Amino acid sequence: QVHLVESGGELVQAGGSLRLSCAASGRTFGIFVTGWFRQAPGKEREFVAATSSSGVSIYYADSVKGRFTISRDNDKNTVYLQMISLKPDDTAVYYCAAGRALTYATYAAGYNYWGQGTQVTVSS
């Protein structure tokens, strides 16, 4: 069992930066694939970024490549999402997730555990 709690979301102007954190409970956190997804009002939840359990394999959605960076610190049971050059289209609730299958890292269905989400709002 893994319990995930996101933080760091806030209102920011376009072009600004934010760092989201996802704190996980459970001693087995280090074996999980972790990902970030987001959901804007009226839209489906979409993949943002994911990292393998070791942090070596990393995946990004095309829309965030070059602007977002996912990282993890297994000693601290924490996953991060550094976001720069934010755009109004990045406005959404951002969710952290943990799963076991790297093969499905870019699919929401591949994750077993989800946080409650943190709101990111980018003003123009």
Give the per-residue pLDDT at 62.
98
Evaluate if residue 27 carries a pLDDT over 80: no
Residues 6+ apart with CB under 8 A from 7: 20, 21, 22, 23, 118
Q: pLDDT for 50-101, tens place per residue?
A: 999 999 999 999 999 999 999 999 999 999 999 999 999 999 999 999 998 8
Amino acid, single-letter form, for residue 34: T
Evaluate if residue 28 carries a pLDDT over 90: no
Which tokens sit at 17? 């930066």
Q: Which of 98, 95, 99 is nearest to 115 (CA)?
A: 95
Q: Across residues 32-40, what is the average pLDDT? A: 97
Evaluate if residue 1 carries a pLDDT over 90: no
